[in-house]
Structure 1
Amino acid sequence: MDFLTTVLLLLVGAGGGVALANALRKRTGITNVRTDSVILLERIEKVFKVVMAEGYFSEIYNYQDQKKILYLLNDPKKAMVIARSKVLVGFDFAKVRFRAPDNGDKKLIIESFPEPEVLSIDTDYKFYDIQAGILNHFSGDDYTQILDEAKRAMNERAMQSDLPKIANNQIQYMMYQLASSMGWQLQLPEADQQKLEALKAQAEAEAQPAKWLNAGNQSES
């Protein structure tokens, strides 16, 4: 047996062994997957942010990138992402500006109150229908860009929904109730004060039927 024949037999045997090992691995369902992760704590900040409303959104985001080969042939790549998010809307109380009157009255004057903002977005992304071009392949930066754009679209959609209005109503009425429970009077900026008065009137109107019902039950007993 010459040298060339020996080498060919070794190569054939090695290839057969690899094929047999792969077949056995697929049949037994055994895979050897190893993952490593490193968690680094960058910084800790003290914050005073209050969540007043949460919403759940679903979004279908279509990504498409056209690229020409030699300025003649189109080589597109595209992907579809389905995102499901929980959005928390609230306020950063570090931006609140308030003061108490100099005469000692139990009154809290809110001079400036921040607008509601998205405090966090918890999103689950799933990629579907990923089609790469002949030369126009997906890179890690492409996936990062897709997820960033999908998250930005979700943020805009949340701020265009009723969440900011609900959060605004919630925080104003909560502050009013808290101040009243401690015997303080709350004064907001003029526009917010008008909204608060409307909320108070609505709450009192909704409470009236319950009072009449309780009064009726007591008289019957």
Structure 2
Amino acid sequence: MDSNTLLFFILSLFIGAILGAGMYFFLSRRKSGNGNSKVEATVLVERIEKVFKVVMAEGYFTEIYNYQNDKSIWNLINDKKKALIIAKAKVLVGYDFGKMRYHISEIDKKVIIDFFPEPEVLSMDTDYKFYDIEQGWLNRFQSDDYTAILNEAKQTMNEKALQSDLPRIATNQVQLMMFQLAATMNWKIDMQLPEANKKELEEYTTYRPTDAGIDNLDWKRD
């Protein structure tokens, strides 16, 4: 091997070693940089219960809230904060059959209903967005303010859902399901309800226009 070939071989090894070390350093830095992030999660199961709840109607609601809070400072300065909140919710209305009371007459092949529960909101999936937030120098939004606003919005959504046509639809659906299911097995449903329970059920079979959509609410807190 002549001197030129030996020199070229040594230079190639040297350059290869430098490139290899540089690549290893780059990859190790990148790997160690990603390794700095650490996420820990703890899931606690508090209670598991058996339920028999059936969804019979689904509705979508949108509410617009104008929130304003005025705070007087030494009766000289009126410091206020306000925000526009758009709340959307998907509401599921149905029945908790665990609340229903009944007994069975096998001779007559009848399911006798002694008490029928009212339809209720079984689930509510909500989404909130805040717009046009304005705050004063001292009267500023705190975490408790956001919690109170969201709780009020959720309560309003719940009331709107129960005042809408969803309970009537759920009542008609559940009765249709029960009677059809019993008929397929050659059984009958006998509604022997107390008078008060019967009136409650009749109230939910009365038609009401569905009150879903955008509703402007001026919510001002002193």
State the SS of the aligned residue for 1:100. Answer: strand
Q: 1:125 to 1:38 in 2, by over 3 A?
A: farther
Match of 2:114 in 1: 111
Identity of aligned residues (%): 60
Match of 2:54 in 1: 50
Instruction: Decide which of 170, 180, 185 is 1:182's aligned counterpart.
Output: 185
Match of 2:161 in 1: 158
Alpha-carbon deviation of 1:54?
Answer: 0.2
Question: Where do 5+ consecutive residues of structure 1 fail to align?
Answer: 1-32, 199-221
Match of 1:140 in 2: 143
Structure 1: 4+ residue segments shifted above 6 A: 33-36
Structure richer in strand, relative to its length: 2
Match of 2:123 in 1: 120
Return the alpha-carbon distance in structure 2 between the equivalents of residues 118 and 187 of structure 1.
26
Return the alpha-carbon distance in structure 1 between the equivalents of residues 40 and 84 of structure 2.
28
Q: Deviations over 1:39-87 (max 9, x none)?
A: 4333222211100000011111121111111133211111111111100
Given residue 59 of structure 1, which amino acid in structure 2 is its aligned partner? E
**Whose RCO is larger (CA < 8 A, sep 6+)?**
2
State the SS of the aligned residue for 1:75. Answer: strand
Return the alpha-carbon distance in structure 2 between the equivalents of residues 36 and 76 of structure 1.
40
Given residue 63 of structure 2, which amino acid in structure 1 is its aligned partner? E
Question: Where do 5+ consecutive residues of structure 2 fail to align?
Answer: 1-36, 206-222
Return the alpha-carbon distance in structure 2 between the equivalents of residues 137 and 36 of structure 1.
33
Aligned residues: 163
Return the alpha-carbon distance in structure 2 between the equivalents of residues 144 and 36 of structure 1.
25
Return the alpha-carbon distance in structure 2 between the equivalents of residues 128 and 34 of structure 1.
33
Q: 1:60 to 1:119 in 2, by over 3 A?
A: same
Q: 1:77 to 1:87 in 2, by over 3 A?
A: same
Instruction: Decide which of 115, 134, 139 is 1:131's aligned counterpart.
Output: 134
Q: 1:35 to 1:151 in 2, by over 3 A?
A: farther
Given residue 155 of structure 1, which amino acid in structure 2 is its aligned partner? N
Q: 1:140 to 1:153 in 2, by over 3 A?
A: same
What RMSD in Å do the two structures reach over aligned CA positions? 2.5
Return the alpha-carbon distance in structure 2 between the equivalents of residues 137 and 171 of structure 1.
48
Q: How does 1:186-205 map to 2 (within 5 A)?
A: 186-189=189-192, 191=198
Alpha-carbon deviation of 1:187?
Answer: 0.8
TM (norm. structure 2) is 0.67
Q: 1:149 to 1:162 in 2, by over 3 A?
A: same
Match of 2:97 in 1: 93
Q: 1:53 to 1:109 in 2, by over 3 A?
A: same
Return the alpha-carbon distance in structure 2 between the equivalents of residues 35 and 79 of structure 1.
34
Return the alpha-carbon distance in structure 1 between the equivalents of residues 84 and 158 of structure 2.
19
